[in-house]
Amino acid sequence: MEKLFNNEVEKQLKEVLSHMIKPITIIMFSNEDCLTCKETKQLLNEVVSLNNKISLEIKEIKNSKNEVEKYNIKLVPSFVLLDENKQYKGVKFNGIPAGHEINSFISAVLEMSGIQAGFNEDLITRIKKISKPVNIKVFITLACPHCPGAVQTAHRLAMLNKNITAEMIEAQTFSDESVKYNVSGVPKIIINENKELVGNHPIENFLEQIESI
Amino acid sequence: MFNFTLNKLSEDDLYYNKLWDFVSLGAGPAGINASLYAKRKGLETLIVAKEIGGQLNNTEDVDNYLGFKMINANSLIDKFIAHIDSLNIEKLIGFDVISIIKDNEVFTIKLNNGKYIKAKTLLYALGGNPRKLQIEGEDKYSGKGVSYCVTCDGPFYKDKKVVVAGGGNSAVEAAIDLSKVAKEVYIIHRSQFRADKILLDKMFSNKNIKVYLETTIKKIVGNEKIEYLEIIDNKTLQSSKFYLDGLFVEIGNIPNSYLIEDIVKTNERKEIIVNEEQRTSVEGLFAAGDVTAEPEKQIIISAAAGAKAALAAAKYINKRGE
């Protein structure tokens, strides 16, 4: 099969991933008749081959009831990132993070490996104070240059607080979800099913919405 | 298929512990080309930006950049980046600039990660944000049928009926791009076209694009999402309802000059006034691209202005004997 990454992109990715600190695990959920499972598997396999700190497990959803429940998998393809202790920090991708979205994927890999996002102390204190369960969905399209920033922010919030889970949703693959959440512009951010933002908002705006819950 | 833009680690102290000769704020054509020229002059050069590509990201194809008869905008950005990467120009991408202060001939730029960058000379090339129609219903239906990014949101309108508001090149390009996806595309514009003839010819050859000139959009109406526009014929003053699925607003940009509008001279549109060397009214601070009062907002003109700014910055540094 032809490779997804050309030599140039592969070289850049390898350099960036060489900064990973601790090992991480990616668990991907797939099923037989899924639309983009094949491409997503290939993408993850190619990324894994670039750095030995990344491990990949691929699960068929029909054989993985426990994990599907544990990671609250509702869509396929879907994958979660686990830290060095195989702890789930609420970082999930639904659909293939290709196009511009490769950036939010690679930054999630780096940050799950222990690289700090670089927020100031006040922000970190605010994030840590969140005590209610929060789920952030970020709908994206692959040609959207403003989307990776929103996905990155949502995932960073999840990594900093165990009460927060954050998931990218590729809007075209999951068109039923897009209709359900009335998505016609991206990035569209849905917080706990009822609060929404459109656009690549700064983290302060995410926090304002979350704190008002 | 992949638009990979991450560079070295943003937390690397490399960025924050030194005094850069030339920092470009913005990574559109102006900022990227400026960094190329600055680096070639031997200046220690850094690009700081939220996203790579600037407003080029909001277009699909480019067919007026010399040397490329027709090129996908993403490919053009990739070529720009490959060019500056070949000179190992440092980039810090993914950050917002919070403030800019000049003290003792040094610019201090505060980023939203709480860190500071220091520079001897600074290029302000932060472009613009889409201009809004400023009519009733626009904010309410933003993301619910009202969009400012064809490449991002075009895919949601497969086989649907969409309207593009505007009459310049970007509006006509948006209509052409949308006609590949949508069933019907309408351009509604309050006056006459300002777009290039070659684009208009291309648009008029497209059977699913229809044009309403001298027509003003007065109001956006809907329920959960957009349903219709209230439009008015400027000649007959007759108003009517125009039912649609999506509205793409392409009426130009608002300059992103707010970080320095209090310290440099701007015009009534808040565009930064620069001289023939792209100097602003503050020594050592240059501006280029769509954020300036340059009337022609074109990729090649922004790129050229970036080059001029970098050359002037090199002269400025030499003159100060550093």
User: What per-residue confidence (pLDDT) applies to B135?
Assistant: 98
Which candidate, B49, B45, B25, places its Cα nearest to that of B35? B45
Q: Quick one: B193 and B279 in the same domain?
A: no
pLDDT tens digits for range B89-102? 999 988 889 999 99
Nearest by CB to residue A107, choosing from B6, B82, B113, is: B6
Q: Would you say residue B19 lies in a domain?
A: yes
Residues 46-75 of B with CB under 8 A from A: 50-51, 53, 57-58, 74
CA dist., res. B294 & res. A111, Å (int):
41
Mean pLDDT over A130-134 rounds to 97
Q: Is the pLDDT of residue B11 over 70?
A: no
Percent of chain A with pLDDT over 90: 85
Q: Would you say residue B3 lies in a domain?
A: no
Mean pLDDT over B54-71 rounds to 91
Q: Would you say residue B44 lies in a domain?
A: yes
* pLDDT band per the 50, 70, 90 thresholds, residue A122: confident
Q: Quick one: B272 and B214 in the same domain?
A: no
CA dist., res. B138 & res. B149, Å (int):
15
Determine the structural domain holding residue B34 and report its residue range: 13-129+253-319
CB contact B1 to A (< 8 Å): yes
CB contact A179 to B (< 8 Å): no
Q: Across A111-125, A158-172, B101-115, which has the greatest mean pLDDT?
A: A158-172
C-alpha count within 13 angstroms, C-beta hemisphere, residue B23 = 25
CA distances from A96 to A36, B94, B172 (A): 7, 21, 31
Taken in order of first residue, the domains within chain A and their CATH numbers are 7-211 (3.40.30.80)
Judge contact between B243 and B158, C-beta under 8 A. Answer: no
pLDDT tens digits for range B145-201? 999 999 999 999 999 999 999 999 999 999 999 999 999 999 999 999 999 999 999
Residue A63, classed as helix, strand or coil, is helix
User: What per-residue confidence (pLDDT) applies to B3?
Assistant: 72
Mean pLDDT over B19-47 rounds to 98
CB–CB of A182 and B152 under 8 A? no
Q: Would you say residue B141 lies in a domain?
A: no
Residue B290 a catalytic site member: no
CB contact B281 to A (< 8 Å): no
Q: Quick one: B19 and B125 in the same domain?
A: yes
Identify the CATH number of the domain in which residue B31 sits.
3.50.50.60
Counted domains in chain B: 2
Q: Would you say residue B166 lies in a domain?
A: yes
Q: At which of B187, B222, B249 does a domain end?
A: B249
Q: Would you say residue B226 lies in a domain?
A: yes
Residue B152 a catalytic site member: yes
Q: Would you say residue B4 lies in a domain?
A: no
pTM: 0.89
Specify the residue for token string 């497209």: B206
